Structure formats: C-alpha cells, structure tokens
C-alpha cells in the first residue's frame, strides 16, 4: 500500500467524528484494490488506479462522503453513499468491492472510470455559410473562416443564424466580416483569460 502523507494530514485535520470513517475507507480501498494509489485532488483525498481517478473521500463539518468515479449520482451530499456521520453508514463491504471492481474494469477497458460509451459522439453536421455572410466576406475573411476548426466556424454561423431581426443579423454579419478579416475567432476577447 503506497500512501501519501498529505492524505495522512487531511485525515488528522478532519473533525473527530470523520477521522475513523476516512481511515476505514482508506484501508478498505487499499485492501480491495491493492494497486490503488492515493493523492490529493480538488483539495480532497483521491484514490487512483493505473493513474486514473478511481474514488474520492472528503470530510465536512457534519458529515463525510465517499464516491466512486463513474458510479452514478449522489443521493444527498457528495458521493454515492450519502452523508456519512459514522462508520455504520457505509454500505456492506461486498457492495463497495463490487463497485470498485466495476470502476477498475472501466479504467482497463475505456481508460476512465466514467461510465460512458466507448468512442466519441458523432460530429454535428456542418452548417452551410449563409449567402448574405458569404457575400460580405473578403477573400481573407473567407479563408480564415474556412481554415477554422468546425467548432469555431459553428460559433460564427450559429451567432448569425440565431439573430431574430434582420438589422441584428446585418450587424452580426458586418462584425463577423471584420473579425474574420483580422483572423479572429468569434470569442477572441476571452482567449487571454
């Protein structure tokens, strides 16, 4: 069992009621998944398997929580097991083992504990460049638009197509033609944030 001293410190600084819960969970995860690592992520102890997030635990003022990544939604509080105020609030070890085993299997087959279909979503269909926009674009602006990734092209095209009034659409086309001629993405103002 490889431990992280930051997790030791986290448990030591937790509220007195939470310390035995967190210690029990830590021991349980390492016993059920001998190859599990541990670290601190999002300010809380996180268990990893093959360097991927497997499970996490946390202590709050009045409860602790434990969650297995990709294992569904939380009933209340954080984690699938609700608000834990004492060790008896935990489900049976067999249930925890079953869920951890399933998460490890997902990591081995898909590279993540998150339950999802293997592969990517099918790409959204390309939007055609409206005639009024095409007419307003200089050759440089058209080259910029055509050179963008589909998502960046879509940002401009949806912005124009969503206009409800003709004068709004005309203003957006003029603004788009200007920004595209300068080589700017639709949300260029936020790129440095």
Examine the fold and report which residue of 110, 145, 166 is the final residue of a domain before the chain moves on: 110
Q: How far apart are CA 66 and CA 55, in angstroms?
A: 7
Q: Are residues 46 and 98 in the same domain?
A: yes
> Do 154 and 103 reside in the same domain of the chain?
no
Residue closest to 159 by CA, chosen among 135, 180, 183, 138: 180
79: left (phi over 0), alpha (psi -120 to 50) or beta: left
- Does pLDDT of 3 surpass 50? yes
The arithmetic mean of pLDDT across residues 60-82, rounded, is 76
Domain boundary among 53, 79, 110: 110
Q: What percent of the chain has pLDDT over 90?
A: 63
Residues 6 or more apart in contact with residue 97 via CB below 8 angstroms: 32
Q: Are 95 and 165 in the same domain?
A: no
Confirm whether 76 is domain-assigned.
yes
Q: What kind and span of H or E run contains 167?
A: helix 166-181
Task: Indicate if 75 and 135 belong to the same structural domain.
Answer: no
Using pLDDT thresholds of 50, 70 and 90, give the confidence band for residue 115. low
How far, in Å, CA of 82 to CA of 79, rounded?
A: 6
Residue 14 shares a structural domain with residue 105: yes
pLDDT greater than 90 at residue 31: yes
Q: What is the mean pLDDT of residues 50-63?
A: 92
Q: Is 115 among the domain residues?
A: no
* Consecutive H or E run containing 142: helix 139-147
Band (pLDDT 50/70/90 cuts) for residue 87 is confident
Facing residues of 38 across strands? 47
| Cβ pair 107, 49 in contact under 8 A | yes
Q: What was the pLDDT predicted at 146?
A: 93
pLDDT above 80: residue 145: yes
46 in a structural domain? yes
Asked whether residue 124 is assigned to any structural domain, the reply reads: no
What pLDDT, on the 0 to 100 scale, is given for residue 191?
Answer: 73
Please determine, for residue 114, whether its predicted confidence score (pLDDT) is greater than 50. Answer: yes
Residues 12 and 106 in one domain: yes
Angle between helices 166-181 and 139-147 (to 10 degrees): 90
Q: Per-residue confidence at 29, pLDDT binned at 50, 70, 90? A: very high
**For residue 177, what pLDDT is reported?**
95
At 134 the pLDDT is 95
Ramachandran quadrant class, 35 (left: phi over 0; alpha: psi -120 to 50; beta: rest): alpha
Q: CA-CA distance, 57 to 64, in Å (whole number)?
A: 7
Average pLDDT over residues 137-152: 93
More reliable by pLDDT, 191 or 167: 167
Distance CA 102, CA 81 (A): 16
Considering the domain architecture, whether residues 105 and 153 belong to the same structural domain is answered as no
Domain of residue 182 covers 131-190
Which residue, of 110, 145, 162, is where some domain finishes?
Answer: 110
90 with 184, same domain: the answer is no
Report whether pLDDT(117) > 50: no
Total structural domains in the chain? 2
pLDDT of 91:
81
Do residues 56 and 139 both lie within one domain? no
């Amino acid at each position: 069992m490889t431990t992280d001293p930051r997790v030791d410190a986290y448990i030591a600084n937790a509220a007195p009621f939470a310390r035995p819960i967190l210690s029990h969970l830590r021991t349980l995860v390492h016993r059920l998944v001998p190859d599990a690592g541990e670290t601190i992520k999002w300010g809380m102890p996180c268990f990893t398997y093959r360097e991927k997030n497997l499970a996490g635990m946390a202590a709050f003022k009045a409860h602790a929580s434990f969650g297995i990544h990709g294992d569904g939604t939380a009933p209340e509080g954080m984690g699938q097991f609700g608000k834990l105020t004492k060790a008896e609030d935990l489900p049976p070890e067999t249930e925890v083992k079953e869920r951890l085993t399933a998460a490890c299997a997902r990591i081995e087959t898909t590279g993540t504990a998150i339950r999802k279909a293997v592969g990517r979503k099918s790409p959204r269909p390309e939007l055609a460049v409206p005639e009024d926009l095409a007419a307003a674009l200089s050759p440089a602006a058209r080259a910029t638009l055509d050179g963008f990734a589909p998502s960046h092209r879509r940002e401009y095209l949806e912005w124009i197509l969503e206009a409800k009034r003709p004068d709004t659409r005309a203003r957006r086309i003029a603004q788009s033609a200007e920004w595209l001629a300068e080589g700017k993405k639709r949300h260029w103002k936020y790129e440095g944030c």
